[in-house]
Structure 1
Amino acid sequence: MKKGEQTRQHIVERAAPIFNTRGFSGTSIQDVLRETGLEKGGLYNHFKSKDELALEAFDHAIQLLRTAHKEAQQGRKGVLDRLQGIFEVTLRSALGEVMPGGCPVLNVSVEADDTHPQLKEQAQKAALSLQNFIAQVLAVGIKQGELKPELDPEATSRVLFALFEGGILLTKLHDNPEYLWDARNHMMALLSLYRREA
């Protein structure tokens, strides 16, 4: 990687936690300069605007989330164990262990809904990607005979994603992960209705 690319990556890695914690409107260029140790001219050598940096910082946060999900799936067998892995990453995300500030999808969705169309579009893509990941896990569970074919993977993935994101929101609001554990237990109860007997 060339020096310019390394500097750009350094900026993104340092800026992502700031944007994810303070939001787009709450993050100033001064915050980024302070965190990266760069002068304003050095920053603008790599990014034309705060918007461009925010979009790349969000992509970086989402990539960390995807990596965490991929790692959490290693060695897991069976649909319920794989969904438990997804839950564990969701819990870690809510607690700021994947990225400081919590779940980037939730954070950007709340802030950018009416204020930043490009960030909202990025959040929509990330949310759909995570929903599709859950749907694939469920579809494999049906194919392998663990779940009944009546279960709709796409619709169920939307419900589970909503449960988890709602659980993250309430966990952050009340500083209490019990809300996410309730979401996890509800997920398991829902899927138990569709489990095939061995």
Structure 2
Amino acid sequence: MARQERAEQTRKAILDAAASRFDAVGFLGASLSDILAEAGVTKGALYFHFRSKEELADALIREQFTVWDPLAGIDDPGLQTAIDLTQNMGHSLRSDVRVRAGIRLVIEQGSFVTPAANAYKQWIDTVHGLLLAAKAAGDLRKEINAHDLAQYVVASFTGSQLSSQVLTGRTDLHERITFMWQMILNSAVPPRRLHRFDPAGTPADSE
């Protein structure tokens, strides 16, 4: 058990160091020697867990999907779930270097064309499923195409977080995501149902 715990600690140190470097300088700018130095591990220890820098980056790309975990137990997912999902992602971008690194790797793509496309598709598919449930519940206008709206939500979120990063270091990201949803709700939801949704996200104490 002690050996297993040490191995897990080493893996965590490598991922944290890789996330720090990828977040700071991107995939092409981060060298394995810098990651090793920051993690304080040997090259052999790194290759025990990850065969390449590409595999390290791929692991971090997958980290962004941990924001789904708090929403997994929702009994009746729908439009508010999609709002909460993006607000949770916004919070993670401000507080979790691994998520920031994963998002930067997806946006920059680097040598990760396939994983990047897969990550975008996974986000679109997830939001699409939530919007289909919303439409079935009557929470979207009849003329709205759920898949088109899902693509728009993901694209709008991507642009919002990039603008926030460039202009304020993401300090205003919550407000930008909230404004994004205000615009979407006003155009996509029947007026009689607008009161059901909070573009700022579900308060933590009511989840």
Q: Same fold (TM over 0.5)?
A: yes
Q: Which amino acid aligns with 1:193?
A: S
- Native 8 Å contact 2:87 2:177 kept in 1: no
Relative to structure 1, is the Cα distance of residues 189 and 44 closer, same or farther in structure 2, using a 3 angstrom cutoff?
A: closer
Q: Which of 8, 11, 15 matches 1:9?
A: 11
How far apart, CA to CA, are the structure 1 residues paired with 2:187 and 2:146? 14
- Native 8 Å contact 2:81 2:130 kept in 1: yes
1:48-67 → structure 2 map (5 Å cutoff): 48-59=51-62, 61=63, 65-67=64-66
**Match of residue 184 from structure 1:** 178
- The runs of at least 4 consecutive aligned structure 1 residues that moved more than 6 Å come to none
Relative to structure 1, is the Cα distance of residues 162 and 169 closer, same or farther in structure 2, using a 3 angstrom cutoff?
A: same
In terms of fraction of residues, the more helix-rich structure is 2
Deviation at 1:171, TM superposition (A): 0.5
1:1-198 → structure 2 map (5 Å cutoff): 3=4, 6=8, 9-10=11-12, 11-59=14-62, 61=63, 65-72=64-71, 79-95=78-94, 97-99=95-97, 102=100, 104-105=102-103, 107-112=104-109, 115-116=110-111, 119-175=112-168, 177-178=171-172, 181-196=175-190, 197=192
Could you say which structure has the greater relative contact order, defined with CA pairs below 8 angstroms and 6 or more residues apart? 2
How many residues align? The count is: 188
Q: Which amino acid aligns with 1:47?
A: F
- Native 8 Å contact 1:108 1:120 kept in 2: no
Identity of aligned residues (%): 21
TM-score (norm 1): 0.76
- Native 8 Å contact 1:164 1:180 kept in 2: no
**Match of residue 203 from structure 2:** none
Q: Tell me whether 158-167 or 44-53 shows the greater mean CA deviation.
A: 44-53
